[in-house]
Structure 1
Amino acid sequence: MTLQSSSTELTSFEGKVAVVTGGSRGIGKAICDELIKRGAKVVIGAISDKGQEVAKQYNKETGKKVAVFLRTDVSRYDDNKALFQLAENEFGGVDIAILNAATSDGSDNMFSPLDDKLEERIFNVNAVGLIKSSKVAILHMAKRGGGSIVCISSAAGFYSVPALTAYVATKHAIIGYVRSCTFLPEVCNIRVNAVCPAFVDTEFLDSVRTVGGIPEPYYDFADTVPVVPMPFIIDGVFKYLSDNTTNGETVMAYPTGLEVREAPEWHYSLLTENSLKAQDIYLKKAIPHTKQQLSRALERYENEQKKASSIQ
């Protein structure tokens, strides 16, 4: 499904609070720019302290406090909790989470050294880190009465790239996670969707143009491929922030615009008469069961926050 660009549809986000991981540069910074432009308040989490200057600039340009920054390693629960708690303390809660933080370190791991830490970092940031951020975001949004999470994945979540084996695996993981957030709108009024850009003109993959000091020939090809204009990526993000009917959806951002990538249907051989009956029973139980899980998770999280506050 091809979508028209919606960059002229400047929906106001006045009064909304957005947490943006990886918001100090590139795609994350461009999304923050648009959020500020539309009246939102922004909490920037990034591993780079450059986010501090970005937040200061927003506050200077608007003449009021509309942005704050916290150095954040999304692979750590403590950092994620501190980031979302900062949003609550400074601006009263969280309505939007843009999960954009990622790394290209160790993107090609097929013949890299057999080093546990080296091997795990890209997964801990790109996949596990995103899931950790989303779990904390859901708890804060549930208290608020709902919200929208947009994950910035990649076309690599659908295509194979031999020169980026580990990176591709992490982006496939994000797609599977997003598509599995089936019941959240009915459980807590939270939607999770993903924007998947193809090649983008940022510095993100510059560090993997050489592996072990040897140039990676893949980039002789990649440099010839048209890049995705940043406004198309922004359109994809705000499509999901503005449309309350979408959940578990993935949209590709190509040089020609946006295209929704539909999830495959279950294979007919899996849908027997017995399995369909069992599925109907499961669907009736799933929402109340998941609501109970959320209630327990919120109680546990609140108790943890209270305990942490009493220690400080």
Structure 2
Amino acid sequence: MTKTLEGKVAVLTGAARNIGKHVAIELVNRGAKVVIGDVLDAQGEATVKELNELAGEKVAAYIHTDVTTYQANKAMFAFAETEFGGVDIAFLNAGIGTNANTMFLPLDDAMDDRMLDINTTAVVKGGKVAMLYLAKRGGGVIVNTASVAGFLAGPTMSIYNASKHGVIGWTRSNDIYKHVCNVRMNAVCPTWVDTELAVDLAENDDGNPFTEIFAKMPRVKAETVVEAVLTLIEDESRNGEALLALPGGVIRPQEPISRFPELVSEEFLNIATQKAPDTVAYYKRKLEEARKREGI
């Protein structure tokens, strides 16, 4: 295989197993070094050992990472910098599906907060930290794991859907940073894959007809999801994109809706065009302030 990512360093969350692990393997195959951040320490260490043994050299390292805190995210990226010299790629993949059918579950703050903290807020926190480290490196790419659920709706997965809608909104809101510091941000949006996450979403629903329906839903192969992630990493024209990974090996972008015509006027378009360079300059200044404040 061509070493298309030779000399690159990637940080991956939720990569001790499943899709994250598959992506880590493919990144190493293409010449990258990888740092895996996860809370599944035994599996994470085993994955890193496997990668290093296959490569015959140190190409991977593991760090325990609670993605819901800035402290842990900063530690993960600093660790990657110490181990391999910097970070060029961030795959923010950690996620859960348990208790997605939430409406009539107990009014439990911790239960609902956990879904949103891991699936959405952690992607925001990881993205903010990644942006500073990748900008320091001169640019790079962030890929967030969203889902087709980020475009769909249904009561059985209501809070999960909401969490992934949030990831889509966050990703599309950050396409400007390619022009500010050469950092692209994209989202991969797979449908059902046979992993523990899919099991989480289907189980614990006593009497829920979704369990039977779920068993008949088409699945996407892990290889298709990995291909979509690598496309978002390697194709430098992809920015602010939500890329679907679907059954049958289908990979295609899901375009955003057009701007509502009521929100557009000639005056608005003129001022937006006029102020575009000022907006980029503003964010360049804010980037430097943030890097200085955080010591990155």
TM-score higher than 0.5: yes
What does 1:10-49 align with in structure 2 at a 5 Å threshold?
Answer: 10=2, 12-49=4-41
Contact 1:105–1:121 under 8 Å retained in 2: no
Aligned partner of 2:260 in structure 1 is 267
* Paired residue type of 1:40: A
Aligned partner of 2:44 in structure 1 is 51
TM-score by length of 2: 0.95
* Paired residue type of 2:242: T
Task: Tell me, in whole angstroms, the C-alpha distance in 2 between the residues paired with 1:35 and 1:182.
Answer: 24
Task: Provide structure 1 residue ranges, at least 5 long, that are not aligned to the other structure.
Answer: 1-8, 306-312
Aligned partner of 1:150 in structure 2 is 143
Aligned partner of 1:4 in structure 2 is none
Aligned partner of 1:163 in structure 2 is 156
Task: Tell me, in whole angstroms, the C-alpha distance in 1 between the residues paired with 2:208 and 2:229.
Answer: 31
* Paired residue type of 1:128: T
CA RMSD of aligned residues (A): 1.4
Aligned partner of 1:67 in structure 2 is 60
Q: 1:245 to 1:208 in 2, by over 3 A?
A: closer
Task: Tell me, in whole angstroms, the C-alpha distance in 1 between the residues paired with 2:162 and 2:259.
Answer: 22
Are 1:207 and 2:200 matched, yes or no? yes
Aligned partner of 2:90 in structure 1 is 97
Aligned partner of 1:301 in structure 2 is 294
Aligned partner of 1:178 in structure 2 is 171
Matched position secondary structure for 1:101: coil
Contact 2:202–2:214 under 8 Å retained in 1: no
* Paired residue type of 1:30: H
Matched position secondary structure for 1:103: coil
Matched position secondary structure for 1:251: strand
After superposition, give the CA deviation of every residue in 1:124-169 in whole Å (9 maximum; x if it has no partner). 1100001101111111111100001111111000111320111000
Contact 2:67–2:118 under 8 Å retained in 1: yes
Q: Give the drift of 1:207.
A: 2.9
Contact 1:155–1:197 under 8 Å retained in 2: yes
Task: Tell me, in whole angstroms, the C-alpha distance in 1 between the residues paired with 2:280 and 2:115.
Answer: 33
Q: 1:11 to 1:253 in 2, by over 3 A?
A: farther
Aligned partner of 2:232 in structure 1 is 240
Task: Tell me, in whole angstroms, the C-alpha distance in 2 between the residues paired with 1:12 and 1:216.
Answer: 47
Q: 1:207 to 1:232 in 2, by over 3 A?
A: closer
How many equivalent pairs are there? 294
Contact 2:184–2:238 under 8 Å retained in 1: yes
Task: Tell me, in whole angstroms, the C-alpha distance in 2 between the residues paired with 1:57 and 1:133.
Answer: 26
Task: Tell me, in whole angstroms, the C-alpha distance in 2 between the residues paired with 1:215 and 1:141.
Answer: 47
Q: Give the drift of 1:11.
A: 5.5
Task: Tell me, in whole angstroms, the C-alpha distance in 1 between the residues paired with 2:79 and 2:173.
Answer: 28
Aligned partner of 1:284 in structure 2 is 277
Task: Tell me, in whole angstroms, the C-alpha distance in 2 between the residues paired with 1:91 and 1:11.
Answer: 17
Q: Give the drift of 1:23.
A: 0.4
Q: Give the drift of 1:290.
A: 0.6
Contact 2:150–2:162 under 8 Å retained in 1: yes
Task: Provide structure 2 residue ranges, at least 5 long, that are not aligned to the other structure.
Answer: none
Q: Give the drift of 1:196.
A: 0.4
After superposition, give the CA deviation of every residue in 1:63-108 in whole Å (9 maximum; x if it has no partner). 1111010111110111101111110000000010011001113312
Flag the structure with more relative contact order, 1 or 2, with Cα contacts below 8 A and sequence separation at least 6: 1
* Paired residue type of 2:128: K
Contact 1:210–1:216 under 8 Å retained in 2: no
Matched position secondary structure for 2:68: coil
After superposition, give the CA deviation of every residue in 1:30-58 in whole Å (9 maximum; x if it has no partner). 10111111111110011111101110111
